Structure 1
């Protein structure tokens, strides 16, 4: 099914009905390595497989849980938690990539936490390092917007929400995330290019979702888990198993961070 604004409204209605709540206040999309952090975000109110909602498909990437949950957080708000996303490289349908974010916005979400696993251009940010996104560079050549939607992206990632994250972990650094189309990992030359452009991190998600969220008026907090040093920065070959292993090793810290953020948002 093609993901459109109309199907996002349909999916939001189906989502709220399946999880048994009237609306969502906040949401978390958990990327590679982050799914284990979902268990402590709050009291679970309901769940359903993503693939059962209009316009969604079950995730194809190992390490993504493929479920949407509704939880009551420590702040008393209702949060949606997606343990899976559609990546641009799956079928090059940018509207499918944005569909999850648009569904959450249609369900009432005003603040969105986007997470990912990524490669680091900085040798001092090795596997297990968590980085707040200050900005991004979209190298996919795509956008989820159509027509004259001139969205201001000067504050793509909310400074206020970054302060919320730092109230939980004051040591979190900030960086610039560069999205490549994938699914192949970046070459050393591409990584060097990303660094010349001002990037600190490289990955295959997040920026297109952020554009869709900002177009819908949703504030975004972006958080990356470094799972490996990018090609040419480290000597080890890149492997998705390394991504999963880094997420598993960092799970206690990720759970503590997201639980603390959920109690404030």
Structure 2
């Protein structure tokens, strides 16, 4: 795959571009477990299953529809990934981030990456949304290892602002506005996301270690995608849906079904925040 990586990205982007009317696409959304419903609110949607797109992997995780949905949302041209690819599914990290470069070629300048995560900060609670300030890459891999293709990005991309500060500030303002309108605070937190390889949920000792390293939430995605997005020059906003509390010795047994159910309960607040953000964000700047 390495030798033909750029060619495959270009062919995938061309195939998708031939099937949509509105170009360029302005905003990309990666929708994590249980969070894909916002894509169904797009106007004039074009739905493209991953299985039909040349060179694309296929999402195998329950709760991930496995398709691009491209349409209008809050007046912006948006491409939403209903389902992502995970390192633990057996894909290489380069394959995991393949769609990021496809979205870049379609015109995306800002990317919103979402996920379901376990909360490790004791001030959090299940149902919170966490705006990602920074991350810890604990997957044991990096999508930029190997040959660098200048067409995609710099050999040594800067990560001092992996999550764009202006986008983060805008999302905070939108959350505060929602809280004032509802007459109560919307629980939107901010913190550091620890990305692990998975697929097992972590034992208490490892969770205690991660908390000691400064992580506020933990999950099995996102960091590779964000590294690739910054490599491609995209601005990134990250949002975690805190589906459970993963606090060391207080840890309780957890299933994927519980994670999806918790994400479903958080969906109304998540969708409202995301729609307002899309409405207000400036693109292609």
Band of TM-score, shorter chain: over 0.9
Contact 2:122-2:247 at 8 Å conserved across structures:
no
Contact 1:113-1:222 at 8 Å conserved across structures:
yes
Deviations 1:178-218 (A, max 9, x none): 01111111111111111111111110000000000000000
1:18 is paired with a residue whose SS is coil
Contact 1:45-1:70 at 8 Å conserved across structures:
yes
Residue 244 (str. 1) matches residue 269 (str. 2): no
Deviations 1:135-166 (A, max 9, x none): 00001121111346111101000011112212
Q: CA deviation at 1:57?
A: 2.7
Superposed counterparts of 1:7-156, under 5 Å: 7-40=8-41, 42-74=42-74, 76-145=75-144, 146-147=146-147, 149-156=155-162
Residue 175 (str. 1) matches residue 174 (str. 2): no
Runs (4+) of structure 1 exceeding 4 A deviation are none
Task: List alignment gaps of at least 5 residues for structure 1.
Answer: none
Partner Cα separation in structure 2 for residue 220 and residue 60 of structure 1:
25
Q: Which residue of 2 aligns with 1:263?
A: 279
- Find 1:232's aligned residue among 236, 244, 248: 248
The alignment yields a C-alpha RMSD, in angstroms, of 1.7
Moved more, 15-24 or 153-162: 15-24
Partner Cα separation in structure 1 for residue 242 and residue 55 of structure 2:
30
Task: List alignment gaps of at least 5 residues for structure 2.
Answer: 149-154, 177-185
- Find 2:203's aligned residue among 176, 187, 190: 187
Moved more, 45-54 or 220-229: 45-54
Partner Cα separation in structure 1 for residue 210 and residue 254 of structure 2:
17
Q: Which residue of 2 aligns with 1:200?
A: 216
Q: Which residue of 2 aligns with 1:159?
A: 165
Give the greater-gyration-radius structure (CA): 2
Partner Cα separation in structure 2 for residue 234 and residue 67 of structure 1:
37
Contact 1:120-1:226 at 8 Å conserved across structures:
yes
In the alignment of these two chains, the number of paired residues is 263
